[in-house]
């Protein structure tokens, strides 16, 4: 069934979403906080450590802002769908527990030949004041849905830095990382069911793209903002290759004033998040 292009620009009904301290603690552990040394990153993994108030990893913004889509795109085979890009802007730091009201819309459906790129945007506000808290934009690539003769979409220029990174950090992932991350809300069987993963062309379940994104965000936070979520303003990146749970991730960063470009790679050099950008506020 062809994609329904009439959904572009149609805003969803407002959706209120809340989270608890336990939700943000689980998220931090699910993206590797405290792994290898449980006494590090206590501000993200505990709520009752003496002298250490709980704080929230900035990448939780993507989960906090999530809202159900409005009209259906069409009869899409979920095994042919992959997360392609993700970005967010934090207008203020997230509280350990809170609530937002979100609206979302599809802002474009682009013809990439072998598939279609569907881009959506979500705006989350404080329900009490209407103040904007999060702007999140993501895209999905649907294999086999291209070739309809549409616009290929805007080009994003990202020249490869011709120098060594200013910062480089490596974090391991656990073999059971996807089983932990799925408890944050994404129960897609691609990340847990071997039979479903095989139908999608993978030898075994893969790690959630947003888990890779969260691990990357931790590296950016500590290297660029000295671990201070209040300084972390924005992040974007393109998912370019799958990660299997248990593989290590290296984040390379090139500074450019208050912003930085970054790439995340596996041990064999495969780029898994490309064309990355992060924006950090001054101390």
Cα–Cα dist 160/239, whole Å: 16
Cα–Cα dist 235/253, whole Å: 12
Taking 3-state DSSP, the helix, strand and coil percentages for the chain, each rounded to the nearest 5, stand at 20, 35, 45
Catalytic-labelled residue, pool 23, 83, 111, 191: 191
Three-state DSSP state, 104: strand
Triad 282, 24, 141: Cα angle to 5°? 85
| Full 3-state SS string of 150-184 | CCCCCCCCCCCCCCCCCEEEEECCCCCHHHHHHHH
Catalytic-labelled residue, pool 166, 186, 228, 274: 186
Cα–Cα dist 92/131, whole Å: 10
Whether 37 is catalytic is no
Burial 195-204 (b: 16+ CB within 10 A, else e): ebbeebeeee
Whether 83 is catalytic is no
For the annotated catalytic residues, the residue numbers are 186, 191
């Amino acid at each position: 069934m062809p994609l329904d292009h009439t959904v572009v620009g149609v805003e969803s009904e407002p959706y209120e979403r809340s989270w608890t301290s336990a939700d943000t603690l689980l998220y931090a552990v699910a993206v590797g906080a405290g792994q290898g040394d449980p006494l590090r990153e206590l501000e993200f993994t505990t709520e009752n450590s003496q002298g250490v108030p709980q704080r929230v990893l900035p990448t939780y913004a993507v989960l906090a802002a999530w809202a159900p889509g409005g009209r259906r795109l069409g009869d899409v085979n979920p095994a042919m769908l992959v997360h392609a890009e993700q970005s967010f802007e934090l207008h203020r730091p997230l509280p350990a527990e809170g609530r937002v009201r979100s609206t979302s819309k599809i802002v474009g459906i682009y013809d990439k030949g072998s598939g279609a790129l569907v881009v959506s945007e979500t705006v989350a506000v404080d329900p009490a004041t209407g103040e904007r808290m999060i702007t999140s934009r993501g895209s999905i690539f649907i294999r086999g849905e291209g070739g309809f003769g549409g616009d290929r979409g805007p080009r994003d220029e990202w020249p490869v830095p011709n120098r060594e990174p200013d910062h480089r950090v490596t974090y391991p992932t656990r073999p059971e990382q996807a089983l932990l991350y799925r408890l944050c809300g994404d129960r897609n069987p691609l990340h847990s069911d071997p039979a479903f993963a095989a139908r999608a062309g993978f030898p075994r379940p893969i790690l959630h793209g947003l888990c890779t994104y969260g691990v990357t965000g931790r590296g950016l936070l500590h290297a660029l903002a000295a671990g201070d979520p209040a300084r972390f303003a924005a992040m974007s990146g393109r998912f370019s290759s799958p990660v299997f749970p248990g593989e290590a991730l290296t984040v390379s960063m090139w500074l450019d004033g208050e912003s930085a470009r970054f790439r995340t790679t596996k041990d064999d050099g495969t780029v898994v998040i490309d064309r990355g950008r992060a924006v950090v506020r001054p101390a």
